[in-house]
């Protein structure tokens, strides 16, 4: 099951209407999503006009899409009124810069606007090999791409955000990774109590030192890696909490 299939099946079986996507680039994941309202954030859009037109014909609701060409940090800092007017986010798909710091910020910022019965889906949480899990501070430079096994696939160390959330916010959040489509992180609110979403720097630094090999050897405990069939359970649970009327 791909990220698009998972997201569309949730929209199909619920009354969810609001979708936020961080990291859209060419629009391949944004435009096929079937929902009423979509916000997209990316600092460097590369969506071709013919691609937009094709999906506008297939899904006319794409006419209402709102695009913000800026970093996600700038978006959450500058667009608070946009988000408030948008209403609670039912599904957030996070596929921005593939670093621990950036992905963690995207999750914590999205949680502030998430429907309590909604879901955050994060891409690239289970890199297919060590080179794909290369940790950097930005997209890998040419010299960094010389690492053994490099294929052009890059998930970075987004998986560390899953470890951080499971370590520090386990009472507030239900967090796991489904082993499909480079690892789909699933984040849901399980407690409505107010929770401090500021980053614990000591914990962040400790997790930042972890390496890919340790995660692979301890996937069950570190990221709660689930079989792809678990996606069906996620869909059923979300739909039960917010059924289509």
189-211 pLDDT, tens digit each = 997 777 889 999 999 999 999 99
Q: Does residue 12 register a pLDDT over 90?
A: yes
pLDDT in tens, 174-193: 999 999 999 999 999 997 77
For 23, left (φ over 0), alpha (ψ -120 to 50), or beta? Answer: left
Q: Where are the beta strands (DSSP E) in the chain?
A: 18-22, 37-41, 66-68, 89-94, 114-122, 173-178, 184-189, 225-226
Q: Averaged over 55-82, what is the pLDDT?
A: 97
Ordered structural domains, the chain, with CATH:
3-241 (3.40.50.150)
How would residue 62 be classed by pLDDT, with cut points 50, 70 and 90?
very high
Beta strands 173-178 and 225-226 are: parallel
Give percent of the chain with pLDDT exceeding 70: 100
CB-based contact 27:51 (threshold 8 Å)? yes
Q: What is the pTM of this model?
A: 0.96
User: What's the pLDDT band for 240 if we cut at 50, 70, 90?
Assistant: very high
Mean pLDDT on 143-153: 88
Least-confidence region, from 28-42, 66-80, 89-103, 183-197: 183-197
Q: Is 165 helix (H, G, I), strand (E, B) or coil?
A: helix
Average pLDDT of 144-170?
Answer: 93
Rounded to whole angstroms, the Cα distance separating 238 from 138 reads 34
Identify the pLDDT of residue 71: 97
Residue-wise pLDDT for 84-132, tens only, equals 999 999 999 999 999 999 999 999 999 999 999 999 999 999 999 999 9
Q: DSSP labels for 194-243?
A: ----S--HHHHHHHHT--HHHHHHTHHHHT-EE-TTHHHHHHHHHHHHSB
* Phi, psi of 67, rounded to the nearest 5 degrees: -115, 135
Q: How many residues does the chain have?
A: 245
Q: Quote the pLDDT of residue 244.
A: 86
Averaged pLDDT score across all residues of the chain = 95
51 Cβ contact list (under 8 Å, min separation 6): 26, 27, 31
Compute the radius of gyration of the chain from its Cα atoms. Answer: 17
140: pLDDT strictly greater than 90: no
Half-sphere exposure for 201 (CA within 13 Å, toward CB): 0
Q: Check whether 145 has a pLDDT greater than 90.
A: no
Q: Identify the pLDDT of residue 53.
A: 97
User: For a pLDDT cut of 90, what percent of the chain falls above it?
Assistant: 87
Residue 177 tokens read as 């990774």
pLDDT exceeds 90 at position 169: yes
């Amino acid at each position: 099951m791909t990220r698009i299939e998972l997201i569309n099946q949730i929209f199909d079986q619920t009354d969810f209407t609001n979708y936020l996507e961080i990291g859209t680039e060419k629009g391949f994941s944004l435009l096929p999503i079937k929902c009423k309202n979509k916000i997209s954030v990316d600092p460097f859009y590369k969506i071709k006009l013919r691609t937009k037109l094709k999906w506008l014909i297939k899904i006319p609701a794409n006419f209402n899409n709102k695009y913000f060409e800026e970093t996600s940090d700038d978006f959450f800092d500058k667009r608070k009124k946009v988000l408030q007017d948008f209403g609670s986010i039912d599904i957030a798909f996070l596929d921005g810069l593939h670093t621990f710091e950036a992905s963690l910020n995207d999750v914590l910022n999205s949680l502030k606007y998430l429907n309590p019965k909604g879901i955050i889906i994060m891409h690239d949480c289970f890199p297919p090999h060590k080179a794909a899990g290369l940790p950097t501070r930005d997209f890998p430079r040419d010299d960094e791409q010389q690492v053994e096994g490099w294929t052009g696939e890059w998930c970075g160390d987004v998986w560390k955000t899953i470890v951080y959330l499971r370590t520090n916010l386990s009472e507030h959040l239900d967090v796991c990774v489904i082993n499909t489509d480079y690892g789909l992180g699933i984040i849901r609110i399980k407690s409505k109590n107010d929770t401090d979403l500021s980053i614990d720097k000591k914990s962040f630094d400790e997790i930042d030192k972890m390496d890919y090999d340790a995660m692979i050897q301890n996937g069950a405990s570190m990221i709660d890696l689930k079989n792809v069939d678990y996606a069906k359970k996620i869909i059923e649970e979300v739909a039960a909490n917010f059924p289509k009327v």
